[in-house]
Amino acid sequence: MESAVPDGNLYAQHASICQTLAHPKRLEAIDRLREAEMSVSDLASALQISQPNLSQHLSLMRQKGIVTTRREGLNVYYRLASPKIGRACDLMREVLVENLEAGAALARG
């Protein structure tokens, strides 16, 4: 019978993905890519960072399976590998907002 509890390797992979997502520009890139695929130059412009800096972030996210690429001529286009990635970020943001609101309510007394 298969255990419902993931093995240690799955936890390690989960932690690795979370570590990859733990950067504001990567989260912002995910937010932009959830709407449509974008070229590196368009995404760099939208995020207001250099293309080499963005390429480093995208390379890491591609290695982790967060984004995929498509080449068209000289342009490389990125998109989320799964819409579930955007939904996972939404859930974490909802938890953050709830925590901030609870803290503000406590401060008000």
Ordered by start, the domain boundaries in the chain are: 8-108
Per residue in 51-108, pLDDT (tens digit) is 999 999 999 999 999 999 999 999 999 999 999 999 999 999 999 999 998 888 878 8
Tokens 């390379």 belong to 59
Residue 2 in this model has a pLDDT that exceeds 80: no
Task: Name the CA radius of gyration of the chain, rounded.
Answer: 17
- Close Cβ partners of 70 (under 8 Å, ≥ 6 residues apart): 37, 76, 77, 79
Contact 70, 81 (CB under 8 A): no
Per residue in 10-44, pLDDT (tens digit) is 999 999 999 999 999 999 999 999 989 999 999 99
DSSP E strand stretches across the chain: 38-39, 67-72, 75-80
Q: What is the pLDDT, as a whole number, of residue 1?
A: 46
Phi, psi of 48 (to 5 degrees): 55, 50
CA 64/CA 85 separation, integer angstroms = 12
Q: What is the DSSP letter of 81?
A: S
Burial class (CB in 10 A: 0-12, 13-18, 19+), 6: exposed
CATH annotation of 8-108:
1.10.10.10
